Amino acid sequence: MRKDIVSNEMRPKKELVRIVRNKEGDISIDETGKKSGRGAYVPLEPTAIEEAAKKHLLDQALNATVSADFYDELFAYVKHQKARKELFGKTK
């Protein structure tokens, strides 16, 4: 279980995507969930990413300035992952 920074609720890790800031200050999507650095979790919901961008929630959680381009990249990634999950179904 991990805490979603958009809703502040605990959720299973598989329902979230981890965003990480490494010690050089680079911010990236952590597809494996194993990159080192400060991490924050957002849900696999495009509307939640829009809310995170509007309120700059990742900026606060990662103590860094997150560009609008990164939020766009994150939105596209989440939209793609959600579509894959719907297409291939849930794995148990």
Helices 46-55 and 68-88 pack at an angle, to 10 degrees, of: 160
Q: Mean pLDDT for each 10-residue chunk of the chain (92 residues)?
A: 96 95 96 94 96 96 96 97 86 46
Does residue 79 contact residue 48 with C-beta atoms inside 8 Å?
no
Domain boundaries, the chain: 2-88
Residue type, 19: I
Q: Which residues contact 39 (CB under 8 A, 6 or more apart)?
A: 18, 19, 20, 21, 30
User: Tens of pLDDT along 50-64?
Assistant: 999 999 999 999 999
Its pTM surpasses 0.85: yes
CATH 3.30.1230.10 fits 2-88, yes or no: yes
